[in-house]
């Protein structure tokens, strides 16, 4: 039996690509925290989604790890930094998933988008209803990864603003 206040059905999440959506994507890898710049207004917009009842889940390909450009620790540090900004603003990101693989190094994996494993992990871990979830990404492969798990998506231009919920739902 579920406790009071625990939602049984319809838990929803906003899945987010990272580079070019949350932070400025220079078109190359973000190799360090020093190179990581949050795009203007992102934290405020994420708070609006959070306050509208969406869990926030980041799903990001980080093949630079496989390529030896940076380490998993670097990525964890960057995600801790983002989480700190969110916590300061009064909310938090529920989960960060990243795929460290590149097919030339570790061979094919299921997590690298357009693979759907990161999205599926989020759906399972948080008992989400895919039809109530959404992904925002700047590459078609972000949307393809989510679509394979039954989650719809919104494609934005790289480094453009994340739409607010009302902007998405009037589309």
Residue 19 binding result from Zn ion, Mg ion, none, given CB thresholds of 5 to 8 Å by partner type? Mg ion
Closest to 140 in 3D by CA, of 165, 113, 101: 113
Q: Cis ω on the peptide bond leading into residue 114 (within 30° of 0)? A: yes
| Binding residue for Mg ion, selected from 19, 23, 74, 97, defined by CB under 5 A | 19
Taking the C-alpha atoms of residue 79 and residue 11, their distance in angstroms, rounded to an integer, is: 23
| 113 forms part of the interface with Mg ion (CB under 5 A) | no
Nearer CB in complex with Mg ion: 59/149:
59
DSSP conformation class of 23? B
Please report, as residue ranges, which positions from 138 to 157 form the binding site for Mg ion (by CB under 5 A).
Answer: 138
Minimum distance, C-beta of residue 137 to Mg ion, in the bound complex (Å): 6
Does residue number 134 form part of the binding site for Zn ion (CB under 5 A)? no
Binder among 13, 16, 17, 122 for Mg ion (CB under 5 A): 17
* Smaller CB separation from Zn ion, 42 or 59: 59
Q: Which residues make beta-bridge pairs with 59?
A: 97
* Closest distance to Zn ion from the beta carbon of 122 (Å): 15
Determine, following the binding rule CB under 5 A, whether residue 118 of this chain makes contact with Mg ion.
no
Q: Identify what 112 binds: Mg ion, Zn ion, none; CB under 5 to 8 Å per kind.
A: Zn ion
Indicate whether 120 belongs to the interface with Mg ion (CB under 5 A): no
Is 97 among the residues that bind Mg ion (CB under 5 A)?
Answer: no
Q: Phi first, then psi: what are they for 84, rounded to 5°?
A: -60, -40
Q: How far apart are CA 20 and CA 139, in angstroms?
A: 9
By CB under 5 A, is residue 20 in contact with Mg ion?
yes
Q: How many CA atoms lie within 13 A of 104 on its CB side?
A: 6
Does residue 59 sit in helix, strand or coil? Answer: strand
DSSP state of 3: P
Q: Which residues are catalytic?
A: 17, 19
């Amino acid at each position: 039996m579920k406790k009071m206040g625990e939602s049984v059905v319809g838990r929803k999440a906003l899945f987010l690509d990272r580079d070019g959506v949350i932070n400025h994507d220079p078109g190359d890898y973000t190799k360090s925290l020093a190179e990581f710049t949050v795009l203007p207004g992102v934290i405020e917009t994420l708070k609006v989604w959070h306050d509208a009842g969406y869990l926030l889940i980041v799903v990001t390909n980080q093949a630079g790890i496989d390529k030896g450009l940076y380490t998993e620790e670097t990525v964890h540090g960057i995600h801790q930094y983002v989480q700190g900004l969110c916590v300061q603003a009064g909310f938090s990101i529920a989960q960060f998933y990243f795929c460290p693989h590149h097919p030339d190094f570790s061979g094919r994996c299921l997590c690298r988008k357009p693979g759907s494993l990161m999205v599926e992990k989020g759906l399972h871990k948080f008992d989400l209803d895919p039809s109530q979830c959404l992904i925002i990404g700047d590459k078609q492969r972000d949307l393809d990864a989510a679509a394979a798990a039954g989650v719809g998506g919104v494609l934005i231009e790289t480094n453009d603003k994340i739409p607010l919920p009302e902007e998405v739902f009037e589309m």
